[in-house]
Structure 1
Amino acid sequence: MKKQGGHSGGRSWSLGASAKMKSNSTHYNPAEIKKQREFYKNAKHIKKYKKLKQKTDHEYSQMRIEPIDLVQEEINSTSRKKQRKKSNLQTLREEYEKKKQEEEKAKMEAEAIQEAKKKEKEKVMAQKKELKHKMLKRTRSGQPIMKYRLDHLIETLQRGSN
């Protein structure tokens, strides 16, 4: 036999049990995850910094004072390096100027080719315009003038045979 209670859910939870359940919630909290990620990231950076600092401290402790001759040799070697850098700068500048001149030449050639094509195109368009004008010529009564049409046909036939 079933017990019939006032609500349909079986047994109800006690007040203490429901409070415990609320405190032990395992739901997703993005703010908490972000905070934890930032904490670990900062710890990683701190660890790297400490290692680097320890390494540099160790190197400084092992350094000793070099004799004056070695210091002078280093100064001389650095001055040689500067001279090499200057010569490298000069060669780089020369190469840059040479490339720039080549690019200018190429640009001028391209412009010349483009200009020649443009002139050729204008010439062809002028010929087409003249031909169209001749082909559309008419007499007073509106009949087409056949002289120009026959000339055009003869030219096309001759071009085709050649």
Structure 2
Amino acid sequence: MKKREDFNQVGFRGGDYIRNRKKNEKRIGGKALSLAAFANAKSRPSGYNPSFIKKQREFYRNAKCINKFKKSVKRDSQFEERRHSLPNIEATNEDDENVLKSRKINKKKKTSLKALGEEVEEKRAEAEKLRMEREAMIQAKKEERAKAEAKRKFLRDNMSKRTRSGQPVMKYRIQHILEGLLEKQ
């Protein structure tokens, strides 16, 4: 009976004890860890390790570069094989016809190189011509802007002229109005 009385005192009743524990958990933000559990939690590896992440990033970057290099080497080797395949065919078939064909191919290549050179020169000339036209247009716009600016400056100077007594000189103002009317007609 005595145990029951102790348990029924304030703070030892079943409902109060559980309620207080839940309040404390809510206040702390979860169940509290024991000292041993806290030490173990600190020593356990978490998912976040900056040095490991950096190493992995470097590994993937290197792998990407290696793949690009391998692809370029493969592409170059295929190009070399194609280039060397034509002379191999000529060497196996030493017929006069094949030799003539190979000479024609070489001539075509040379002419195609010349044609390509001419095309490049034409494109350069065309680009130069376009650039010159653009520069001429820009220069014309600059000159036009300068003329308009000079006209505005002249007009502003004339409009701001005053007599000795401080009155505006009406000669220039009337002339401006007349020019405006003549332009409209």
Q: TM-score, normalized by length of structure 1?
A: 0.53
Cα deviation for residue 76 of structure 1 reads 4.4
Where in structure 2 are the equivalents of 1:40-59 lying within 5 Å?
Answer: none
Cα deviation for residue 140 of structure 1 reads 2.1
Selected match of 2:101 from 69, 74, 77 = 77
Gaps of 5+ in 2: 1-89
Selected match of 2:176 from 145, 152, 161 = 152
Aligned residue in 1 for 2:45: none
Structure with more helix by fraction: 2
Aligned residue in 2 for 1:61: none
**Higher RCO (CA < 8 A, seq sep 6+):** 1
Q: Which 4+ runs in 1 deviate beyond 6 A?
A: none
Amino acid of the structure 1 residue aligned with 2:151: Q
**In 1, Cα distance between the equivalents of 2:167 and 2:183?**
28
Aligned residue in 1 for 2:121: 97
Cα deviation for residue 77 of structure 1 reads 3.3
Overall identity of the aligned pairs, in %: 41
Where in structure 2 are the equivalents of 1:1-162 lying within 5 Å?
Answer: 71-73=93-95, 74-160=98-184, 162=185
Aligned residue in 2 for 1:36: none
Deviations 1:42-83 (A, max 9, x none): xxxxxxxxxxxxxxxxxxxxxxxxxx9962145543333222
Gaps of 5+ in 1: 1-67
82-91 or 68-77: bigger deviation: 68-77
Count of aligned pairs between the two proteins: 106
Cα deviation for residue 142 of structure 1 reads 1.6
Deviations 1:71-114 (A, max 9, x none): 21455433332221111000010111011112111211221122
Kindly tell me: are residues 69 and 133 of structure 1, through their superposed partners in 2, closer, same or farther at Cα, counting changes over 3 Å?
Answer: closer
Aligned residue in 1 for 2:74: none
**In 1, Cα distance between the equivalents of 2:170 and 2:121?**
64
**In 2, Cα distance between the equivalents of 1:71 and 1:152?**
93
